[in-house]
Amino acid sequence: MSGKFVVGITGASGMLYAERLLEVLTPKAEVTVIISKTAEKIAKIEGATLSGFDAEYDAIDDLCAAVASGSFQYDGLVVVPCSMKTLGAVANGFSSNLITRVADVALKEKRTCIMMPREMPLSRIHLQNMLTLTDAGATMMMLCPGFYLRPKTIGDLADMVVGRVLDHLKVDHDLAVRWGEE
């Protein structure tokens, strides 16, 4: 196993990224998944599957779950996609559900915390919240794939982004060719 991670999935478009991350990460690591109610609805709309992976699934409203505690040991959190509601809540220390609580804990415990918004255009408030979280130690990874890999499918685009996430989590993968490689 390559570590222990928490994946939070919130109500923004981009469920393909969450699904692909779970496909690649769950066979390699111990994963706890938390899915918001809105994310469940959007996953259905976008045709993404977020269940059935070899992972522990914690309820969004279970603030007594083990992952809510700073004493729960894990290597990193990824919130993908990250809604602006979640981003704003975390930036302002408002832990009203399990995802925002885990993000708050990740920041205070100085663990890897990757927030992956998929919103555009961005307002000044969005940008300020991103800056606040960056200053607090989070990594902002916009759901914006590169095209230097000459993707042929939507899956290729998702793999490029998920590969970058895995790089930051220090999980080995072979999802995408790196810059300068053939």
Three-state helix/strand/coil letters over 39-71: HHHHHHHHCCCCCCCCCEEECCCCCCCHHHCCC
What is the reported pLDDT for 149?
Answer: 80
The average confidence (pLDDT) of the chain is 95
Q: Which amino acid is at 45?
A: I
Task: State mean pLDDT over 118-122.
Answer: 93
Q: C-alpha 122: how far from its chain's center?
A: 19
Domain ranges of the chain: 4-169
SS3 7: strand
What is the reported pLDDT for 180?
Answer: 74
Angle value at C-alpha 17, between 12 and 18, nearest 5 degrees? 75
In which band, very low, low, confident or very high, does the pLDDT at 177 lie, cut at 50, 70 and 90? low
Task: State mean pLDDT over 101-113.
Answer: 98
Residues with Cβ < 8 Å from 145, sequence gap 6 or more?
151, 157, 158, 160, 161
4-169 has which fold? Answer: Rossmann fold (3.40.50)
In which band, very low, low, confident or very high, does the pLDDT at 18 lie, cut at 50, 70 and 90? very high
Closest CA to 161 of 6, 24, 8: 24
- How much is the pTM? 0.95
